[in-house]
């Protein structure tokens, strides 16, 4: 058993982390988001009005049962 404190990680503060040249989304999720990619993804989203949302959810639940 090693004594405490001999293999610890030093603490750093947020302002010491340099993210100037890092794409945080790409780094975290592996998703390289270029402008054209984002526009293409937004085109695939179906917008549902609140009234239709409830109706669609009820239909999906009934299909699962």
Query: Among candidates 22, 27, 26, 54, which has minimal Cα distance to 38?
Result: 26
What is the value of pTM for the model shown? 0.28
Handedness of CA 39, 45, 48, 50 (dihedral sign): negative
Which of 29, 59, 55 has its CA nearest to residue 41?
Answer: 29
Compute the distance between CA of residue 63 and CA of residue 65 in angstroms, rounded to an integer. Answer: 6
Give, for all 65 residues of the chain, the pLDDT tens digit.
555 555 666 777 877 877 788 777 777 777 666 777 777 777 788 777 778 888 888 999 999 87
Task: List the domain boundaries for the chain.
Answer: 14-64
The answer to whether 34 and 26 are in contact (CB under 8 A) is: no
CB–CB of 34/42 below 8 Å?
no
């Amino acid at each position: 058993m090693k004594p405490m404190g001999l293999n610890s990680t030093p603490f750093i503060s947020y302002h010491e982390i340099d993210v100037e040249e890092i794409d945080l989304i790409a780094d975290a999720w592996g998703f390289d988001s270029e402008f054209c990619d984002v526009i293409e993804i937004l085109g695939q989203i179906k917008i549902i009005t609140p009234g239709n949302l409830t109706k669609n959810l009820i239909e999906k639940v009934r299909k699962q049962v």
